[in-house]
């Protein structure tokens, strides 16, 4: 015998207990056990509060929000970098330079191990030091040195001018180029200045200071100003005055480092600023690699010259 059901005439009950034709409470499409009457304004699917995100109009499910984020073009700076709310790289470089200055003030002896030096011996008949002796790191470590005593003798004047110049042009340039490109210009210019000094200065004369990197930023600012059709007279005057001072005080200022940094910064920034938009990121990376490769080749050539001559 059949057992009468509670359903009305003509109705049958499904195995899951649901009576066909009766209204069902909507559930979250990701969590079927959660009842909800809220639906996504884009796709119409019901979703619980954990699966919904506020939108400009109504609410959207997490899938629609993710799809919109993937389809939205990422904001970039004028020359392709990622926008930044603050000049983090600039102030970090200032902090590092000042910190190293204080360290060398307390322990001036470490300058001999980090200063730019072509090839020389600190003692008669002692071991040879310098870039030609395999100490390539001096090309970059020297750019963060500004000892209060010894070497160029500029002391506080050197660190004050360089940090003032970095603060003067750094934040604006970092905002235009983006953090990564700005840092690349700074560091590559520092090394480029060291390479020019390596070729033109006596290999036994040590040098320190961030001037090569600073002049690289001057060159970068000039290129950016030209690209944006801004007035360049101010930066040209600043470069001219500082180059004149470099040549006038050539006995205590490494003018070779200044020129090398200026040319390197201008060249690399030109590649960043004039790269076509369609393939800008690729060209900028390749340009950076190419400049670094040229520096490596130049250093290898100079190493061969000094070591072959026994200088």
Q: What is the pLDDT of residues 223-258, one digit of tens each?
A: 999 999 999 999 999 999 999 988 888 777 889 999
What's the average model confidence in pLDDT over 27-33?
Answer: 84
What is the sign, positive or negative, of the torsion defined by CA atoms of 273, 278, 281, 283? negative
From the CA atom positions of the chain, what is the Rg in Å? 32
Contacts of 116 (CB under 8 A, 6+ apart): 131, 138, 139, 142, 194, 197, 198, 206, 207, 208, 257
What is the pLDDT confidence band of residue 144, given thresholds at 50, 70 and 90? very high
Assign 141 to helix, strand or coil. Answer: helix
What is the pLDDT confidence band of residue 67, given thresholds at 50, 70 and 90? confident
Question: From CA 138, how far away is CA 119, in angstroms rounded?
Answer: 11
pLDDT given for residue 309 in this prediction: 63
What's the average model confidence in pLDDT over 200-215?
Answer: 93
Q: Residue 63, class by beta-carbon neighbours within 10 Å (0-12 exposed, 13-18 middle, 19+ buried)?
A: middle
Please check the confidence at residue 20 and state whether its pLDDT lies above 90: no
Q: Active-site residue among 142, 211, 225, 246?
A: 211
Please check the confidence at residue 19 and state whether its pLDDT lies above 60: no
Place of tokens 């470089």: 93
Residue 258 is a catalytic residue? yes
- pLDDT tens for residues 76-125? 667 776 777 789 999 999 999 999 999 988 888 898 899 999 999 988 88
Question: From CA 261, how far away is CA 277, in angstroms rounded?
Answer: 27
Query: Which helix (DSSP H) or strand (DSSP E) does residue 226 occupy?
Result: helix 211-227
| Two structure tokens written together for 305 | 């010259």
Question: From CA 41, how far away is CA 59, in angstroms rounded?
Answer: 6
pLDDT given for residue 147 in this prediction: 67
Residue 46 is a catalytic residue? no
Assign 35 to helix, strand or coil. Answer: strand
Q: What's the mean per-residue pLDDT of the chain?
A: 85
Please check the confidence at residue 18 and state whether its pLDDT lies above 60: no
Contacts of 163 (CB under 8 A, 6+ apart): 94, 97, 98
**Beta bridge partners of residue 35, listed in sequence order:** 27
pLDDT given for residue 149 in this prediction: 55
Question: From CA 206, how far away is CA 198, in angstroms rounded?
Answer: 10
Please check the confidence at residue 192 and state whether its pLDDT lies above 70: yes
| Two structure tokens written together for 310 | 């026994």
- Longest Cα–Cα distance in the chain: 117
Please check the confidence at residue 151 and state whether its pLDDT lies above 80: no
For residues 297 and 246, which has the higher predicted lDDT (pLDDT)? 297
Please check the confidence at residue 154 and state whether its pLDDT lies above 70: no
pLDDT given for residue 200 in this prediction: 95
Q: Active-site residue among 39, 129, 142, 258?
A: 258
What's the average model confidence in pLDDT over 10-39?
Answer: 65
Buried b (16+ CB within 10 A) or exposed e, 183-198: bbbbbbbbbbbbbbbb
| Two structure tokens written together for 146 | 């500004």
What is the pLDDT confidence band of residue 6, given thresholds at 50, 70 and 90? very low
Query: Which helix (DSSP H) or strand (DSSP E) does residue 59 occupy?
Result: strand 59-61
Question: From CA 197, how far away is CA 213, in angstroms rounded?
Answer: 13
Please check the confidence at residue 129 and state whether its pLDDT lies above 90: yes
pLDDT given for residue 185 in this prediction: 97
Give this prediction's pTM: 0.75
CB atoms within 10 A of CB 128: 17
pLDDT given for residue 35 in this prediction: 79
What is the pLDDT confidence band of residue 73, given thresholds at 50, 70 and 90? low
């Amino acid at each position: 015998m059949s057992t009468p059901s509670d359903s009305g005439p003509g109705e049958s009950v499904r195995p899951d207990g649901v009576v066909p034709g009766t209204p069902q409470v909507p559930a979250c499409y990701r969590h079927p056990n959660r009842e909800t009457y809220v639906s996504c304004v884009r796709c119409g699917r019901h979703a619980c509060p954990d699966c919904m995100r506020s939108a400009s109009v109504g609410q959207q499910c997490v899938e629609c929000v993710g799809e919109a984020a993937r389809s939205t073009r990422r904001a970039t700076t004028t020359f392709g970098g990622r926008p930044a709310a603050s000049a983090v790289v600039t102030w970090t470089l200032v902090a590092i330079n000042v910190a190293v200055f204080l360290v060398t003030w307390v322990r001036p002896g470490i300058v001999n191990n980090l200063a730019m030096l072509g090839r020389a011996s600190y003692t008669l008949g002692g071991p040879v030091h310098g870039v030609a002796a395999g100490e390539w790191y001096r090309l970059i470590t020297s750019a963060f040195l500004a000892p209060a005593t010894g070497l160029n003798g500029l002391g506080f004047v050197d660190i004050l001018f360089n940090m003032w110049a970095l603060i003067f042009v750094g934040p604006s340039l970092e905002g235009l180029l983006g953090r990564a490109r700005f840092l690349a210009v700074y560091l590559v210019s520092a090394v480029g200045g060291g390479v020019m000094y390596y070729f033109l200065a006596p290999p036994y004369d040590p040098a320190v200071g961030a001037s090569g990197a600073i002049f690289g930023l001057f060159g970068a600012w000039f290129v950016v100003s030209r690209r944006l059709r801004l007035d360049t007279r101010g930066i040209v005057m600043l470069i001219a005055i500082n180059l004149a001072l470099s040549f006038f005080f050539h006995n205590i200022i490494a003018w070779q480092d200044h020129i090398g940094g200026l040319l390197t910064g201008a060249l690399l920034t030109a590649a960043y600023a004039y790269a076509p938009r369609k393939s800008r990121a690729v060209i900028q990376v390749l340009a950076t690699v190419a400049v670094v490769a040229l520096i490596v080749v130049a250093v290898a050539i100079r190493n061969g010259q000094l070591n072959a001559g026994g200088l």
